[in-house]
Structure 1
């Protein structure tokens, strides 16, 4: 009985003990994790309630700010300053007037006069939801604002309404304020105006290229018809143009640009089918409508139009670079809006001299009635001051009214052998060696056999065996002679010895556009595209002792609404002074004893001027070049075979009555007639080198060799030191008794049986 009476007390005590133990454990756990309530500081700071509350507060603040903006910003009663466009004023470097760009090419037309299918092409191209949306693309605008804040530039996504607001009411400036205003005004405009009103404004204010603002001016500029006569396929082209007017203009577009605009044209028409605005069967029968050649604006005849276009293009690119405009299209709209005073670096005296040289040395010798090919010859030239980078003269073609495209800035023709100095510059700057371990220099011996297989460092053939001009084989020759005679087989092998990636890297540093080029041996023949403007920059950098020169046509720019800062045309040291000066020294041999001798060295007006340069003739005679320089002036002249019927690249054989137009003919003659009329006569190249024709002493050959010519350059007063690339076995005035000590990079096909002149081993 006693034991049964005490059992409840024991059970109750155990339960209380368990509860007490559990309570202590919980208390220790909470206290151990950070405080009175057991929660960490971080967990107490970021609770779900606080996060959600903060989010809603931010949303309310954002909504409040937007409402405030919406109330503050109204739709302007009139267009912006750019809507009331002014003329641009262009001046020569001395401040004298070159031209004004004339009256604005714009005519507003009522939307009712634009065929409905043509209206739909613009909607299909830019904003398929135009008829349904509220005038804005919130996601696209937000992305644009974020990218502006982060400095990433412009992004697409704007509606037709937003683009119209930007063109007509605002500016092209890339700022957050402008984008917010654009958003608010677009929303209000969509509420107060019809879609037809907005579409009419959009197609009447947009810039289409060729100086044309609005669809009426564009219809005339591209198809010689009024807007009401446009076909759907023509409308699709004009709609496609708005994305990139200059890049997509058929008359000046590159092959890539033509492919891109055709792709966009197809995109527009396919969207129309998708939206049921165009019958699928009819769409399949539409062909791309090639635009008509452009006509120049009044006051732009002769060379003026080329100069104005070059200045406008450089200014537009600068506006993008410095962040004033989102993209090139917007920037060009700003330029064409007027109000600019643009002073060019063009020297009127030199400009006139260059035009006269082209007329006397080329145009006067072309006769389309005698030779149809003469109608297909185009010339371009650029002259640059190597100390300042100023483009002092530019020749864009016979007449801006007759040939719209600027031949001085076009990049669709090969520079051919004018690229060879770049290969040598890379070899010298990179301290490259031949495959036998000899440093490459002016006196290095290479095998000049035509169609010689190029081999890599392992002795394997790379599958490239270029032919020399006229299939001439030279045997073992120096690099100097190979440059003088423009021997393809030598520089093809040199490119592999240096490494084509290094060659293209140096080409880029010197000012050529090598983006996307494959580092293959064929590039040693200058098969990439280049312009006279680019090649003038490359050679100006060589003339400036390896310090980069970026040619600029702009001297100063003034505008009441936009501030423009122009970069320094003289940049960093991109190759060593020794490498640049050695190339210059070698290039004097091309003029005095090479492919330019007849046209340049023998010119009676040379009057002692020191000259370096290089000729070039591309495959199938489609281009011919001479780029040369004196200590104070660099000029690149290019001739291009372009069909006067369809603008395709064609050969220039027999043009001007010559069997073949090469760089030593018309290009070198134009160069010499211009340069020897304007360049100073008392300047010398200050060269930091012991290599090349400019510093070689006169060679006295053995009577038994009877070479047909000797270097015409007289010896320097200072005895040259031994070249690091070659150790001569005798003094220059001695009759050579043995072959050069250097080993060719490839065994020659024949063994010379007579002593050889290191500068001219074959007596060529």
Structure 2
């Protein structure tokens, strides 16, 4: 072989050698990967084995408790006034009566299985997926979740607690497995329906049957049972008596779900199911000892405590928190003053309820009153009036938020304007002396001069012509505040409303909201006005002073919060609102009340669409009180008119904010102040409480086209109260001449000049729809 052939052979050999070396290297890498995977698999199975061994140890160590847990035994709650005297005791004995499963119709039994655990009769008492999900949620801090079987829920209710801890969930799992082995399914189902919390203070199906349908458990039909079974998912949300429209829709869907599952499980005939109608529960009945205002105060305190338990993490949701409160053992002290509470009740009785006679006038049976009184410096709720009586009318009128606050919302618009330093569409700052066109049904326009499709009428369709903001507030001119809301920006208005304490989360920022078309409660409006009174520092009315329990520590939040609007904005609104009392829609009931004795007062009236509600929310430097009257059909609970109530009001008999609400406010407030006279400490140069420092600024009339020249005519800075602001305003009824015959004692100075359109024969009737 020549050298050339040897060289080629070596080259070929070299090329062949390389793959052999590569193959050996690849083989070593594959072995390493194989042993790495084996380690992972081994570690996984090792952990599983340890978990199984740990569970076996737990299974051997954890026994079924001999009796019920302490939380299953209800104790008495003691409620006290702010002075320490006893208001009420609630919870003597458990509102629970154990019934045998045989006493409950089989179809009703199946509603609970269909609602909660369709595999109940086949499973081993636990849902491993649901429990694993629960453990993961607990570890990640997500809290409560569904997925537990009926057996697990029974074990939690009867043997354990609702603590969201790993140890409790593991105990629940082990005990549920043992309970399923040692008890029959009927015994477990009986335990479940007898220990579950249904709301309205009812534990167990017997108490629930009485609370919702006024029958014993053995008289429940399948439709009613399906509602009670659906209720367990969210008792406080699904209680028909207090449920929102959304919640009513949800519970109806849940009810349908339960019955459809029963058809699927062959427990209910499809034809029978199709014929079933939703069984609307009866109204709640107050427990003995809760008569009069006591029940309203107790339930308001319970609700506030439940919210705080959720806020501090002692309960995962309101249903769980309310169950903790209802189980008892609490000593609860309210901020309510026993003396002021009696004064408020007396004012409502003497001013309103003593004049109602449903036998003479059907409308008198539809009148509901609610009121809340707050200390603006501390946020304490000093008095609350919830209605004719807790055992007669379950809904607390002081905390209900299903009626429109109407024109009591107008100060919020002005607060937003001043706080945001907003301007009119021709660039002028919005102040108490800014002039707007008060023509009734004037179309509201945007910054580009385009109509926005909203043209609200003034009360009785009165045209005011050019009026200052102060005059417009005094007379509650709808057209002015509708335009002002758009000038400020409705998003900003709603943002300020929220910061002041109104619940507007689900409300649209549309011009119609300037008329107060959202829902609000006297408690809510008292908080809004207390924040204004407190110079813009947030006031969240608090009925609870303290709540003590042997197993739980509760810290009460400070009712006084941060500065939410500027002091100038808050004080300007207060100054302007003194004009409503001295020159406006509240003058007859408040300004001329002989007990006023020169006390400075700010406030606003309100009358909603079709006279379904009437309001007066007013304040002094030391006391804020919101009074609302609501038209509620005594049988259907639908919203109805108040017009004609008592038969004593002149003219059309419209119940306006300046009538009974302002009268109640005045009698209560001037009595509660005990003769103490105070003045507002205001940092503003605007409004009726201070002498005007400048001539009115005149806004371009939004009803004119953008190309028109703005008006330059100025109105007088301080027209006599009896003089109408413009020629257009002379179409209104003449102002109340009686105001000049009985002047108040030392009323504060006022720069307002417009009077509301309420002549001698109809002085009650003012702003509104």
Same fold, TM-score > 0.5, yes or no: yes
1:363 equivalenced with 2:335 (yes/no) = no
Q: 1:17 to 1:290 in 2, by over 3 A?
A: closer
* SS of match in other structure, 1:47: helix
How many Å separate the matches in 2 of 1:184 and 1:685?
66
Aligned to 1:668: 662
- Pairing 1:303-314 to 2, within 5 Å after superposition: 303-314=293-304
* SS of match in other structure, 1:571: strand
Aligned to 1:684: 679
* SS of match in other structure, 1:694: coil
Report the Cα offset of residue 490 of structure 1. 0.7
Q: TM-score, normalised by structure 1?
A: 0.89
- Pairing 1:407-418 to 2, within 5 Å after superposition: 407-418=397-408
2:101 to 89, 108, 111: 111
Aligned to 1:719: none
- How many residue pairs get aligned? The number is 714
- Pairing 1:285-434 to 2, within 5 Å after superposition: 285-434=275-424
1:75 to 64, 67, 82: 64
Q: Deviations over 1:704-733 (max 9, x none)?
A: xxxxxxxxxxxxxxxxxx4xxxx52xxxxx
How many Å separate the matches in 2 of 1:565 and 1:741?
50
How many Å separate the matches in 1 of 2:15 and 2:541?
91
Instruction: Determine if contact 1:172/1:331 at 8 Å carries over to the other structure.
Output: no
1:261 equivalenced with 2:251 (yes/no) = yes
CA RMSD of superposed structures (Å): 2.4
* SS of match in other structure, 1:533: helix
Q: 1:158 to 1:745 in 2, by over 3 A?
A: farther
How many Å separate the matches in 1 of 2:356 and 2:127?
57
How many Å separate the matches in 1 of 2:30 and 2:565?
65
How many Å separate the matches in 1 of 2:415 and 2:453?
25
Report the Cα offset of residue 167 of structure 1. 1.4
1:187 equivalenced with 2:177 (yes/no) = yes
* SS of match in other structure, 1:98: strand
Report the Cα offset of residue 131 of structure 1. 1.4
Aligned to 1:735: none
* SS of match in other structure, 1:693: coil
The list of structure 1 runs, each at least 4 consecutive aligned residues, that deviate by more than 4 angstroms after superposition, is 6-12, 19-27, 36-40, 43-46, 747-760
Q: Which segment drifts farther, 16-25 or 301-310?
A: 16-25
Aligned to 1:205: 195
1:53 to 25, 30, 42: 42
Q: Give unmatched runs, 5+ long, in structure 1.
A: 31-35, 698-721, 729-739
Instruction: Determine if contact 1:476/1:748 at 8 Å carries over to the other structure.
Output: no
* SS of match in other structure, 1:638: strand
Q: Give unmatched runs, 5+ long, in structure 2.
A: 727-753, 756-769
Report the Cα offset of residue 650 of structure 1. 0.7
- Pairing 1:21-60 to 2, within 5 Å after superposition: 47-60=36-49
1:761 equivalenced with 2:725 (yes/no) = yes
* SS of match in other structure, 1:132: coil
Report the Cα offset of residue 163 of structure 1. 1.5
1:153 equivalenced with 2:143 (yes/no) = yes
* SS of match in other structure, 2:629: strand
How many Å separate the matches in 2 of 1:287 and 1:299?
35
Report the Cα offset of residue 316 of structure 1. 1.1
Q: 1:47 to 1:355 in 2, by over 3 A?
A: same
1:614 to 604, 609, 615: 604
Instruction: Determine if contact 2:433/2:697 at 8 Å carries over to the other structure.
Output: no
How many Å separate the matches in 1 of 2:678 and 2:575?
15
Q: 1:362 to 1:319 in 2, by over 3 A?
A: same
How many Å separate the matches in 2 of 1:437 and 1:372?
52
Report the Cα offset of residue 752 of structure 1. 11
2:479 to 480, 489, 512: 489
Aligned to 1:217: 207
- Pairing 1:81-92 to 2, within 5 Å after superposition: 81-92=70-81
Q: 1:45 to 1:756 in 2, by over 3 A?
A: farther
Report the Cα offset of residue 138 of structure 1. 2.2
How many Å separate the matches in 2 of 1:553 and 1:741?
44
Q: TM-score, normalised by structure 2?
A: 0.89
Q: 1:367 to 1:412 in 2, by over 3 A?
A: same
Q: Deviations over 1:212-258 (max 9, x none)?
A: 21111111122221111111111111112212223222222232232
Instruction: Determine if contact 2:435/2:697 at 8 Å carries over to the other structure.
Output: no
How many Å separate the matches in 2 of 1:397 and 1:616?
20
How many Å separate the matches in 1 of 2:89 and 2:715?
66
